[in-house]
Structure 1
Amino acid sequence: MKSTLDQIEDIKINGYSLDFSNVFNHAFENYKKIALYAGLILLVFSILAIFLGGGIFAAIFGIQYFNEDFIKSLQNEQTTSSVLAIYSLALAFIAAIFSPFTAGFLKMAYSADRDEEFNVSTIFSYYTSRYFGQLFIAALLISLTSGLISVAFNLVGIILVDTIIALLINVFTCLTIPLIIFGNLNAIDAIKSSIILVSKQPFVIILLLFVAGVGSAIGFIGCCIGIVFTIPITYSVKYAIYSAILNIDEDDSIDSIGSDSE
């Protein structure tokens, strides 16, 4: 069987076909299998995160300062380059820490696609796997790059360009995590390979991710709490895109996923 890098080398030369309707139908069918379970997990941990974040804020600033005037003062405060840099660095580390959590949802989508059992431990399986380091490094590099670009454009006051570039970075690196956990690539190779794969079919992939984003937003529009049940469609779409481009049905690919917690 060809390795993931060999398959990507072939794609660099010959490209690949990606049918929007086939991929989306695959993603939606798979989403229906994970929506309730993944949504409940997101709901529980979102509540825990809110309480934890509120507790940390109260411990640092004091609960008496948490009022409307304090929030307005934060909004009106002039940000400096150092503050923006620290903020971007903090967000990059948060993204890196939570990257195995995202990988867990992709593994859940993989298991659901094959009608295999999955549970809460599936979401956290990559925190104790050999892939943790590569997931952490990849997410940190992507977030730092996006953050530094954001700081640069914010300092010169060009926010629109900053937003567009950040979105493009997210799109072109959207296959990084599946390339690590399904393709067994290291962080650098996964980032480069994701850029190569997306660049071959950028419009179809952008449209798929856009529709997934709209689908996620529906939960927020209908009922704020409902968004936790619509967010999983983004993971399902990313999994469906990856599986449509690269074959992950081979025995050794499945074996590597099955042994990722060893």
Structure 2
Amino acid sequence: MNKTTQYRIEEINKNGYALDFGDVFNHAFENYKKIALYGGLIIFVFFVLLSLLAFGILIAIFGAPAVVDFLKPENLQPENISITTLLIIAGASALTSCLLSPFPAGLIKMAYCAERDEEFHVSTMFEFYKAPYFKELFVATFLVSLTSSIISTIINYAEIPALGFVVTVTVSLFTILMIPLIIFGKLKAVEAIQTSILIVSKQPLVLLGLIIIGSIATLVGFIGCCIGIFFTLPFIYSLYYAIYSEIIGFETEDESEDKN
């Protein structure tokens, strides 16, 4: 953990913090405009390649007929899937999220570079597939995803989808700063989760409102053959960046020079 982050977290723990909804949203939107096209194109290409790879692996393991049969709507109803299968799916989903966790971290870093008018490239999206970041992102995402997936799966199996949705939203809300704390604050996985929960608990309603509006803005991309979602999705990562920037902030050049 760097000293700037440590000091700010201690201050938040003691005194809380002020957060203006409008300022954060405008900050996120202005930043989003700088990365929308480039980030959207990369997400689209990555999604297509990942989908082809995933279907290729499933077909190679189970065969095309079995995969097609499993994907029939009637076979995807929770009541028609055994609890064992649901738990396997939950575990696979958590593992996939872990392996892909450096990708959203790259999008948040892209937002950071855009605000400072620094160049960013395709390599920026994959910058955190290296030590020490990958391990911490993997562990943090695994703990959060596995917990959320298991709870949601059990709730859905009990046919209480509304409660499952509430659990998913709650977990997502209280861990929104987990990734920025790892890549910018240099926190370890468990520290990042605990700190994110601490910070969000100080202003949960404002942050929930930001996430809801940000999600709605992102879903607008479904208009126009759904392709637009790839170009509105970067907004949510600009929002994560803006929230972290407004609450924690970054070390200034003067502070960096003082340390040296």
Q: Normalization by structure 2: what TM-score?
A: 0.91
In structure 2, the residue matched to 1:119 is 121
2:4–2:251 CA contact under 8 A, matched in 1: no
User: How far apart are residue 169 of structure 1 and its match?
Assistant: 0.3
1:216–1:227 CA contact under 8 A, matched in 2: yes
User: What is the correspondence of 1:80-159 to structure 2 with a 5 Å cutoff?
Assistant: 80-159=82-161
1:248–1:254 CA contact under 8 A, matched in 2: no
In structure 2, the residue matched to 1:58 is 59
Instruction: Give the residue type in structure 1 aligned to 2:215.
Output: G
User: How far apart are residue 232 of structure 1 and its match?
Assistant: 0.2
User: Aligned pair in 2 of structure 1 residues 70, 201: CA closer, same or farther (>3 Å)?
Assistant: closer
In the alignment, structure 1 segments of 5+ residues that lack a partner are: 256-262
Distance between the aligned counterparts of 1:102 and 1:185, measured in 2? 17
Deviations 1:236-255 (A, max 9, x none): 00000000001214349989
User: How far apart are residue 85 of structure 1 and its match?
Assistant: 1.4
Instruction: Give the residue type in structure 1 aligned to 2:246.
Output: A
Distance between the aligned counterparts of 2:224 and 2:254, measured in 1? 43
User: Aligned pair in 2 of structure 1 residues 70, 90: CA closer, same or farther (>3 Å)?
Assistant: closer
Deviations 1:4-62 (A, max 9, x none): 23321211111101111111111111101000100010111111122222222332333
Alignment partner of 1:126: what SS? coil
User: How far apart are residue 185 of structure 1 and its match?
Assistant: 0.5
User: Aligned pair in 2 of structure 1 residues 221, 17: CA closer, same or farther (>3 Å)?
Assistant: same
Deviations 1:109-140 (A, max 9, x none): 00001000100000001002321100000000
2:17–2:247 CA contact under 8 A, matched in 1: yes
My pick for the range that moved more, 68-77 or 140-149, is: 68-77
Cα RMSD, aligned residues only: 2.2
User: How far apart are residue 66 of structure 1 and its match?
Assistant: 5.7
Deviations 1:199-240 (A, max 9, x none): 111111111111111111111123311110000000000000
Distance between the aligned counterparts of 1:238 and 1:69, measured in 2? 36
2:175–2:193 CA contact under 8 A, matched in 1: yes
Give the paired residue count: 255
In structure 1, the residue matched to 2:9 is 8
User: What is the correspondence of 1:203-222 to structure 2 with a 5 Å cutoff?
Assistant: 203-222=205-224
Alignment partner of 2:18: what SS? coil
Share of identical aligned residues, percent? Answer: 48
In the alignment, structure 2 segments of 5+ residues that lack a partner are: none
User: Aligned pair in 2 of structure 1 residues 62, 81: CA closer, same or farther (>3 Å)?
Assistant: closer
In structure 1, the residue matched to 2:42 is 41
2:32–2:238 CA contact under 8 A, matched in 1: yes
